[in-house]
A and B are shown apart, each in its own frame.
Chain A
Amino acid sequence: MGERVAVILGMGLGTYLLRVFPLLFAHQLSLGPRILRWFQFVSYAVIASFVWFGFTKGASPAGTMGIRIIALGLTILVAVRTKNALLGMAAGIAAVLILARVGS
């Protein structure tokens, strides 16, 4: 038990250091506008990649993939039209639930 707790605390410490070091020390670096712009692009790209993983994880091409693509399209369409992210999300999730039920 002691070893397992030590491993869990080690996982937590390692993860915490990854989170905290940039926050504590990055401001000491003089980050130029180009570097800040790069971080802005990296952030957008990470979020976009995460969306790709989230929408494709566990989906089979012949099964739920088509439904998920429709849901993603509807989510973006509603969010762009209404400028409301919650409404966009609700439309996408509703589409998945309804289309999955219709298809089953």
Chain B
Amino acid sequence: MSRDDLASFREGALAAIPVCVGFFAITVAFGIAAQATGLPAGEVLLMSAVVFAAPAQFPAIELLPLSGQAMQILLSTLFINFRFAVMSFALVPHLKRLRTGGLMVGAQLVTMSTFAVSFLRFQRRSDHDNFIYFLGVAIPSYICYLMGTVVGYHFGVRIPAGFDEGISLIFPAYLSALLAAELRERRSIVVVGVAFLATPVVETLVPGWGLILNAIVVATAAIGVEAWWESVLPSS
């Protein structure tokens, strides 16, 4: 690894600190919940390692001890994690020069948080070091994720009362701060604002799909408006 690569990795790792704290807190809670269901430690850690997506893991640990639930668990996992396909698509233009082996390893580390932190950096500065930066964000986050699972399962460490509210908001606060600090283009700012406000409406209409469906609808509408605007004002 060259000096430039190390610097990019370090830049990603620093940006991942809030993600690590958030992942650790979430997976401690996951470990505690999984231990309470009676699942063995090895299976719980295996799930965190291969799925790496807490929203799909929490329902799975409730159903896994029951028999005959395999299909329901697998289908719900696919539906809940469908968002990763959209995120991977969005990363493609920024990881063009990467070989297949690198993509296959990196794919496992795509989550909402690692994607968001990396994507916003790529909007500001997209370069040959994109993948190293992504790994800098994702590898420490993955380690924190596994560590939190182990700590929660074996030690049942609970977040001190009064701090849980703050810790639960680390992710959204960090992402909103990243958006606020990084976004410059007016049209993208409008998309963010509309998507934020439309989320509860779409979530009410189609429960469970507010995140991805809302994004697709808002982005499609924005593209339509942008195309119309450019046809009306070709010089803008």
Contacts and interface: CB of A to CB of B under 8 A. Distances in A.
B139 interface: no
**Number of contact residues on A: which range applies?**
35 or more
B195 A45 contact: yes
A5 B42 CA distance: 9
A19 B178 contact: no
Given A5-B46, A11-B73, A36 B107 contact: no
Chain B at the A interface: mostly helix, strand, loop or mixed?
Answer: helix
Given A10-B70, A49-B210, A75-B180, A55 B81 contact: no
A97 B165 contact: yes
B64 A7 contact: yes
B99 to A, nearest CB: 11
Interface string A38-61: 111111111111111111111000
Interface residues of B, number: 92
Contacts of A1: 40, 43
A55 B169 contact: yes
Contacts of A49: 195-196, 199, 210-211, 214-215
Given A53-B210, A88-B173, A93-B170, A45 B181 contact: no
Given A20-B107, A48-B179, A89-B177, A34 B227 contact: yes
B234 interface: no
A39 B90 contact: yes
B162 interface: yes
Contacts of A51: 172, 175-176, 179, 196
B174 A19 contact: no
B82 interface: yes
A88 B179 CA distance: 11
17 contacts: A4-B39, A9-B50, A11-B60, A13-B50, A15-B53, A34-B223, A39-B93, A40-B188, A41-B218, A44-B191, A48-B199, A49-B196, A49-B210, A50-B211, A54-B173, A88-B173, A100-B162
Given A8-B46, A44-B219, A76-B180, 7 more contacts: A4-B39, A34-B227, A42-B219, A43-B86, A49-B195, A51-B172, A79-B181
